[in-house]
Structure 1
Amino acid sequence: MTIAVRYSAARTLDTAPSHGSPPGPGEVELAPAYVGICGTDLHIFHGDMDARVQTPAVLGHEMSGRVVRVGPGIEGWQPGDAVTVMPLRWDATCPACRAGHQHICQHLDFIGIDSPGAMQQRWTVPAHTLIRLPDSLALDRAALVEPTAVAVHDVGRAGVRDGEKVVVVGGGPVGILIALVARAAGAEVRVAELSAHRRRLAEELGLTVWNPAEDDMPTLLREWTGEAGADVSFEVSGAAGGVDTAVDVLGVRGRLCLVAIHPRPREINLHRFFWRELTLVGARLYDRSDFEHAVALVADGTIPAERLISKVVPLTQAPAAFEALESGGDVMKILVDCTDASQGAAA
């Protein structure tokens, strides 16, 4: 018998026995090793996605683990293989899929939200979702491949080019990953973040950070860009003030990439879009090439995943970890150790 973490109602998580079944045709059974808790998981925990999530729901989609069993007809995978999962199941028939945009299928099953996720000791998924991990990559670090793939997709959607000036508004896990991926693409990057803990971590990673509450950002921006403004901004804060900042920092024909989930409509300065011929692009999820690039970035240390992991907790302590993240404080990324149902460890 194995254990799973289940969401049943707003702010209600528990751990319960789960009963696995043999993988069917086209499926693979995994033993998740580490599962990251992300902002979307917190939205579910708060009850914001109850209209979408069917309870009791097993959460988790940022993961690493190993193959346990393969279903009939599966080739190329065997027990013991180290993997992560691109948690997307599309229908291949809707207009988005037919246009080549399967990752935003109009009937998308986001595994871990719309169907059971990785926060359990055994997990069966379609074989096509598997992404191979190099044997040299530690599985705790590999749990950050999925959010890194988000950042890779975001930077690609924004069209970041070598030498461009980029402002990332919001220095949480995804914001920091976007900043690191953009820097690896040759951009000059600034991160705007209110939290002292997050600013300190970003600075330790070699990023230049602005505090919107205290710094004279207009002056800093003029000095940095020669009064031109930034080429690209990323809104990752999810706050109304973050939207304003992401618009205000852009120069003529700048591009704003919207990454954060905004649960309610926001006002936006459309006159500035008109006056400076700005562009707004949305960025959601990723495709296989984003995942493969993310694996390479984490494996070669371009993304220092170990620096972003604040804490590792056993599966049975996952509910308390959600509460810790909700309360804020000096945490960045918490991982759930699915191999350990009794004792946690500092990362």
Structure 2
Amino acid sequence: MLTANYVGDRTIDIREAEPEPPARGEVQIAVAYTGLCGTDLHILHGHMDARVRTPLVFGHEMSGIVSALGDGVSGWSVGDKVTVMPLAWDGTCPACVAGNQHICQNLDFIGIDSPGSLQGRWNVPAAALVAVPSAVPLDHAALVEPVAVAVHDVRRSELTAGQKAVVIGGGPIGTLIATVARHAGADVTLIEIDGERRAQAEGLGFTTLDPSTVDQVAWVDEWTGGAGADVVFEVSGAAAAVRGMTALAKVRGTIVVVAIHPTPREVDLQRVFWRELRLLGARVYQRDDFEAAIELIAAGVIPTDLVISRVVPLTETAAAFAELEAGRAMKILVDVQAGTR
């Protein structure tokens, strides 16, 4: 089988490897599609070099078919359509004991801390599997993980129907958050500097702002009758967005930090104090977020055809990352089995 490996120094190496049988408690998956995401770009840029062990087969947004079962596995059969919630927690740390296993203090994020899905056969703990309905195509099922991120972010914000939400950043996660928030009944405005991404969001019916040409604070102030937004989602990862996000929220409004910031950012804490703002982090997801994501995809709520820009074979993984880095695509899927079928 072919594998895509991060080997350091912004380099991806495509290698041949022999698949190993699943260990006890594991399931082997014939990976169909793997989505490339911003976290993968952080790995490629070296931002996680202190964490990852190279060579690393990475990737965690995926879909596939169960191809083998390890000893002791029940409830799954060869041929089942699945995706993976790529979190393995220890169950004993204070976070786990408090019921927050998804942010375990010793979390193994599969695809970062251990091998991921950019390989033809992938062995994962059976507990990580999530069933995919037969009616959901495998390429759409590869979006379950990022949709689960968006579901978790919106739930974390406690957004309710009728509220006004601002999403800063119109990439895949920002667009998905806007979609989930609107489905929850919110009125959503999306701030995005890239014209193509704004056009895509407008095609989905969202109001968009170009922060390079519009005074976003004045616009949000007028939109909300002088109050400010109920919830602001910071999804861009840009320092300027972090500096400005507090000015968009209402008194006792909520700001949810979604983006991964590789370095500390300047935050207007005077504004946080003055308006009694609530500043929240939102990281990964829980099992019910995955299940809700599958329901949203199956129901056609998620604009899968817009989010998926193109599909490439595994041998073109490096070129696909270059496209993402240049902002020329929303979501690129890797067809892991291309050329082997």
TM tier, smaller: over 0.9
1:245 Cα deviation from its structure 2 partner: 2.8
Q: For residue 331 of structure 2, what is the aligned residue in structure 1?
A: 333
Contact 1:314-1:340 within 8 A present in 2 as well:
yes
Contact 1:229-1:250 within 8 A present in 2 as well:
yes
**2:5 is matched by which residue type in structure 1?**
R
Q: For residue 125 of structure 2, what is the aligned residue in structure 1?
A: 126
Contact 1:316-1:341 within 8 A present in 2 as well:
no
Q: Distance in 1 between matches of 2:252 and 2:47?
A: 35
**1:113 is matched by which residue type in structure 2?**
I
Deviating more after overlay: 21-30 vs 115-124: 21-30
1:244 Cα deviation from its structure 2 partner: 2.4
Deviations along 1:109-155, one digit per CA (max 9) or x if unpaired, are 00000000000100000000000000000111111110000011101
Q: Distance in 1 between matches of 2:270 and 2:46?
A: 35
Q: For residue 242 of structure 1, what is the aligned residue in structure 2?
A: 241
1:37 aligns with 2:18: no
Query: RMSD of aligned C-alpha atoms?
Result: 1.2
Q: Distance in 1 between matches of 2:131 and 2:88?
A: 18
1:271 aligns with 2:270: yes
Q: For residue 59 of structure 1, what is the aligned residue in structure 2?
A: 58
**1:17 is matched by which residue type in structure 2?**
E
**1:199 is matched by which residue type in structure 2?**
R
Q: For residue 202 of structure 2, what is the aligned residue in structure 1?
A: 203
Contact 1:321-1:334 within 8 A present in 2 as well:
yes
Contact 1:243-1:268 within 8 A present in 2 as well:
yes
Q: Distance in 1 between matches of 2:205 and 2:243?
A: 26
Instruction: Give TM-score scaled by structure 2 length.
Output: 0.98
Contact 1:34-1:337 within 8 A present in 2 as well:
yes
Deviating more after overlay: 19-28 vs 56-65: 19-28
- SS in structure 1 opposite 2:270? helix
Q: Distance in 1 between matches of 2:102 and 2:209?
A: 34
- SS in structure 2 opposite 1:23? coil
**1:216 is matched by which residue type in structure 2?**
D
Contact 1:169-1:245 within 8 A present in 2 as well:
no
Q: For residue 216 of structure 1, what is the aligned residue in structure 2?
A: 215
1:217 Cα deviation from its structure 2 partner: 2.0
- SS in structure 2 opposite 1:65? strand
**2:146 is matched by which residue type in structure 1?**
P
Q: Distance in 2 between matches of 1:279 and 1:328?
A: 31
- SS in structure 2 opposite 1:72? coil
- SS in structure 2 opposite 1:6? strand
Q: For residue 320 of structure 2, what is the aligned residue in structure 1?
A: 321
Q: Distance in 1 between matches of 2:42 and 2:294?
A: 26
Alignment gaps of 5+ in structure 2: none
Q: For residue 169 of structure 2, what is the aligned residue in structure 1?
A: 170
1:262 Cα deviation from its structure 2 partner: 0.8
Q: For residue 152 of structure 1, what is the aligned residue in structure 2?
A: 151
1:323 Cα deviation from its structure 2 partner: 1.6
Q: For residue 17 of structure 2, what is the aligned residue in structure 1?
A: 18
- SS in structure 2 opposite 1:50? coil
1:74 aligns with 2:73: yes
1:222 Cα deviation from its structure 2 partner: 2.4
Q: Distance in 2 between matches of 1:327 and 1:212?
A: 19
Q: For residue 98 of structure 1, what is the aligned residue in structure 2?
A: 97
Q: How many aligned residue pairs are there?
A: 341
Q: For residue 311 of structure 2, what is the aligned residue in structure 1?
A: 312
Deviating more after overlay: 41-50 vs 218-227: 218-227
- SS in structure 1 opposite 2:46? coil
* Structure 2 CA distance for partners of 1:183 and 1:297, relative to 1, 3 Å: same
Q: Distance in 1 between matches of 2:23 and 2:249?
A: 51
**1:61 is matched by which residue type in structure 2?**
H
Q: Distance in 2 between matches of 1:268 and 1:327?
A: 27
Alignment gaps of 5+ in structure 1: none
Deviations along 1:240-269, one digit per CA (max 9) or x if unpaired, are 111123211101100000001111111111
- SS in structure 1 opposite 2:59? coil
Contact 1:167-1:246 within 8 A present in 2 as well:
no
Contact 1:36-1:336 within 8 A present in 2 as well:
yes
Q: Distance in 2 between matches of 1:156 and 1:233?
A: 13
1:342 Cα deviation from its structure 2 partner: 8.0
Q: Distance in 2 between matches of 1:54 and 1:341?
A: 29
Q: Distance in 1 between matches of 2:35 and 2:195?
A: 23
Q: Distance in 2 between matches of 1:163 and 1:112?
A: 38
Deviations along 1:238-297, one digit per CA (max 9) or x if unpaired, are 111111232111011000000011111111111111111100010000010000000001
Q: For residue 46 of structure 2, what is the aligned residue in structure 1?
A: 47
